[in-house]
Structure 1
């Protein structure tokens, strides 16, 4: 007999099952019943926490993104910090995460009228704080001018990296990462 899951362990199992269901079948075929079956639980257990598949999908995405937040590198320079973080994001697991989310969740966006940004809000997933640390350190070191740091500029290198993933479905060459940082991003903040 298996041990009964409760509390945080149960919620993690439910969210992991929901993410696996999304990744395997996409939002169009994502059902509460499929998550119940995959998690090995009962419908009331799931519905007590999430009222519908949209709420569950959102919770599963946030849960998965929080699990993949990387530590902010501290190399001593903004250039190397951003490149190090981009190289970590560029690994195969992160490329798969981005492409799965984008491809499989297209039907979610059509059905709910939301944008991808609504699901992957960096302030909700913990990603914003991780990246802000890089910029705070660079300002403290005098490398960049804080008045030039808009939210769009802070996200630019990572948005361009995501664009590369979505156009190639593969990790990006180091040459491209350096080009993004050296010729596009750094000139905007110096």
Structure 2
């Protein structure tokens, strides 16, 4: 008889089963019952934590992004920090970004969210740290840092990934940073 899961181990098993269900069948065919079956548990165990599939999907995406958290680079310059973070995302997240966008189209339609809403959580804190360091070093001034400008290089990276379903060539990452992003901060 398998050992009974509890607490964090049970929650991880449920979220892992939910991710497997999403990637195997997409949001349109995603059901709480399918997750229960895949996780080998009972409906009350799942419903106690997430009352509906939208909340479960959001928790699942957050879980997946936290498992694949990217370290915040500290190279000594904003340009290199942003490029390093973009290169890391480019090297490690193309499949996740593509899967989330393709498999969760119905979720975004039903909830009024966008892929960016879910994915932003993955780089928000890292990006904020990068910009705070750049301000502290005197590379940029805070008045040039709107939320739109801070998210711009990562939004453009995501756009490139979603239009090609492939990692973005390094020369394009450099072009995004050098010819679009950094000039806005000057």
> Please, what TM-score do these two structures have when normalized by structure 2?
0.95
For structure 1, the residue ranges without an aligned partner over 5 or more in a row are none
Per-residue Cα deviation, 1:131-166 (whole angstroms, up to 9, x for no partner): 111011111111112110001100000000000000
Q: RMSD of aligned C-alpha atoms? A: 1.3
Paired residues of 1:83 and 1:177 also in contact (CA < 8 A): yes
3-state secondary structure, aligned to 2:72: coil
Find the counterpart in structure 1 of residue 33 from structure 2.
33
Find the counterpart in structure 1 of residue 178 from structure 2.
182
Q: Does 1:116 align with 2:115?
A: yes
Distance verdict in 2 for CA 1:76–1:119, change over 3 Å? closer
Shifted more, 55-64 versus 5-14: the winner is 55-64
Paired residues of 1:69 and 1:130 also in contact (CA < 8 A): no
Find the counterpart in structure 2 of residue 164 from structure 1.
160
1:110 & 1:75 partners in 2: Cα distance?
A: 39
2:25 & 2:144 partners in 1: Cα distance?
A: 42
Find the counterpart in structure 2 of residue 52 from structure 1.
52
1:178: how far off?
0.3
Find the counterpart in structure 2 of residue 149 from structure 1.
145
How many pairs are equivalent?
186
Q: Does 1:107 align with 2:106?
A: yes
1:118: how far off?
4.2
Paired residues of 1:17 and 1:35 also in contact (CA < 8 A): yes
After TM superposition, which residue ranges in structure 1, 4 or more long, deviate above 4 angstroms?
none
Distance verdict in 2 for CA 1:182–1:102, change over 3 Å? same
